[in-house]
Amino acid sequence: MEEIMKKILSILTIAILLAVPAMAGNGRGACGNGGGSALGSTYYDVSQETTINATVIGFDTVYPSRLIVTMEDSRQLAVFMAPKWYLAQQNITFTEGQVITIIGVLTTFSDSTDGIIARQVISGDSLYEFRDANGIPLWISTRGMAGRKGRRGGRGGYGAAAYGNISPCGNLATIISSLPVQDLNDVEVDMLEKMRQEEKLARDVYLTLYEKWGLRIFSNIAQSEQTHMDAVKVLLDKYGLEDPATNNVIGVFTDQAFTDLYNSLVEKGSVSLTEALKVGATIEDLDIKDLEDEIALTNNEDIKMVFQNLMKGSRNHLRSFYRLVVANGETYEPQFISQEEFDSIVNSPMERGVVLDADGNVYSTCGRVNN
């Protein structure tokens, strides 16, 4: 037991040393809440993210995990992306004179150098990701740092699970199953069958675009769309309705209209990385509009609650895709929701850690859910 404890302490020490170059000032120490490492999302505040265009000078000779860049106003900035070993493992390299776009949080490093902690770096059609949408470093799981505390969501907080589901009532399926059964009309039956396929459409397109471009945003949001599919399936099962998406093959749908739309979206998203990101924004734009319309057509508490939470997820996905579209020097104009609603969504922070009720308000007794 003593030998095991020594190994654990050694691993934790290495993790802290790897993070040293990125330790910022601004009154923040190396640890987050509950004694967790600064590698966690308590250290990286997604709401403070900014986007910077810069030109690479080279890597810092003192802190080799930091990239030195020149911004458009000629000021120099140090960029911390990830530990050097992770950059090598992912075959991530930069050359002098390379123009890049950095999405991250501005900070002052421990040596008083102005810098930015990068979550993503874009260069041409290449996108390099270092932290997930919650700000949690991707290199943690790469070296098996999840550990028992992370999986449990324990105080150490090294694993991403420490920031995931933390309350049984945070499971939307559990909440829906506890609500009383209500009568469904034909319109409500149709909307459930349609939404089950629409969420599969999103999942399938993102999985296909991930295979094409290899960008983590597509695989991450595809996983989220699977949870959306599962949520609608809970309703289908609860009301004894036939599942229109029993065939799980990518691109195969009961309704031919969804097959045609899948083919059209994949074709457009295969043209370029930017077009692929715009396809993502288009899908979420459509989802939000459809969900809003269908919520207005039902008084069923089950359906409204599930659809409110699907819509919350779609708003978050739209924010993520739009941010990357802009970072690539392009823009996206809404095709389904109004410009006013679109602007309100993309200019507001991510909606995290909540389950919404049938009216779109926070379901107060619940913790976090994946969206």
Structural domains in the chain, sorted by start:
2-32+43-130 (2.40.50.140), 164-346 (1.20.1260.10)
Does the predicted model carry a pTM greater than 0.75? no
User: Sign of torsion, CA 187 188 189 194?
Assistant: positive
Question: Tell me: the pLDDT tens digits for 296-347?
Answer: 999 999 999 999 999 999 999 999 999 999 988 899 999 999 999 999 999 9
Q: Each residue of 51-73: pLDDT tens digit?
A: 989 999 988 777 777 899 988 88
Among 117-126, 134-143, 178-187, name the most confident range. 178-187
Residue with tokens 């409110």: 308
Strands (E), 141-291: none
Q: Give ∠ CA 82-87-91 in degrees, rounded to 5.
A: 155
Bridge partners, residue 32, by sequence: none
What is the C-alpha to C-alpha distance for residues 357 and 363, in angstroms, rounded to an integer? Answer: 5
